[in-house]
Amino acid sequence: MAGTRKVMLFVESNTSGTGRLMLQAARTRGYEPVLLAADVARYRFAAEDGIGVVQADTTDAAAIVTLFRERSWRSRLAGVLSTSEYFIAVASEVAARLDLPGPAIAAVRAARDKDSQHRRLSAAGVPVPAGTVVRRVDEIERVASRLHFPVVAKPTMGSGSTGARLCVGVEELQEHVTRLLAARANERGLPVPSEALLQEYIDGPQYSVETLGLQVVGITANHIGPPPCFVEVGHEHPAELDPIAARQLRTVARRALAALGLTWGPAHVELRMAAGGPRVIEVNARLAGGWIPELVRLSSGVDLIAGIVDLSAGHPLRIRRRHRRIACIRFLVADRDGVITAVTGADGTAMADGVVDVRLYKHVGEDVRCFGDFRDRIGHAISVAENPLAAIAAAEQALKCLSVRVESTK
């Protein structure tokens, strides 16, 4: 019965993908998942999955602790966590206040602030792109002489490549930074600091190292859409790498985590392979998005999502690889604003051998907007095969069969 099961408390969540899967995993593993949300209506899937949602001020750890003590969860709480980049610090603080497992609060906050993260990694000798933070547009002319264009400009507190842009000259950089500094809130409506991080652009293939504690679970190949934005359009796990490159990526990722103090729980370390070796683009104190945890499970049998649930409840970490295959995802990305008027291929009837999942995130009649970040992705195809070429071919073929007609409303 729900009233006697241990409760797993989630402070907000991703609205799809990992968020939904982790709530389901908590239930599968015998817990009663309870989702705290400032806006209950944001989580349409919760009603579909029978997940309890409680309205709360999810930016205030003290308020959550007070709410917890007023509820019947007090004697039944097993763990506190979040799958959302924007709430992992609050969740870690709540866990600490309630003497439950979780990452070090200071480490999470250092990782969340990309300026602080960049400075800590650089001071520790971890290879990172050259960078500086600006808080006024007129600072750009002062620092422009030290910048080697193109330059990546992004918010210091962001997620999913939101607000990140490749700028090829001073004028373009000034225009984009002006927009970043004018923003008062992010896509979730949370306040953001009026500052922007400018980083040297590293021209090389991108990878992400998926970790639990300091243990590397695997390396993922990341594919980025056309500039000036950084929309991730696909992944393969594990990445096809020579042993030396793989060892370099693992070593640098571990050094970055140690420098930040992220020695508990999941992390997603993004790196680019430059001519002189890997450079850390950023470290995220959470599981990867983009369905990467599902690729890890399909390729190796390692269930990162279930592992995080267990770890948050105080159980020892066990990583057991059952097989080695290649899992691949390709995303359908919107190329215009408008309304979806027709969809074909979403029923999966045209799926090739090896394709295990084809889905759309939006349906006929829904609006589509292009933001230049993760929100541009409106569907995907996932495949599994014994070698990279077969997996990639299957996913790309399935994606070609997935068609969405978007008509402009202007």
Per-residue pLDDT of 251-260, as tens digits, reads 999 999 999 9
Burial (CB count within 10 angstroms: exposed 0-12, middle 13-18, buried 19+), residue 3: exposed
How much is the pTM?
0.93
Side chain identity at residue 368, one-letter code: V
Distance, in Å, from the CA atom of 232 to the CA atom of 152, rounded to the nearest integer, reads 16
Side chain identity at residue 37, one-letter code: A
pLDDT at residue 1, rounded to an integer: 43
Taking 50 as the pLDDT cut, the residues of the chain under it are 1
Residue 127: C-alpha distances to residues 14, 27, 50, 79, 329 (Å): 30, 41, 46, 35, 29
Q: Which of 125, 172, 90 has the alpha carbon at shortest distance from 280?
A: 125
Q: Which of 37, 43, 40, 26 has the alpha carbon at shortest distance from 79?
A: 26
Please give the positions annotated as active site. 286
Distance, in Å, from the CA atom of 224 to the CA atom of 256, rounded to the nearest integer, reads 23
Distance, in Å, from the CA atom of 377 to the CA atom of 371, rounded to the nearest integer, reads 10
Are the C-beta atoms of 405 and 394 separated by less than 8 Å?
Answer: no
Q: Which domains does the chain have, with CATH numbers?
A: 7-100 (3.40.50.720), 130-200 (3.30.1490.20), 206-407 (3.30.470.20)
Q: Which of 259, 303, 233 has the alpha carbon at shortest distance from 122?
A: 259
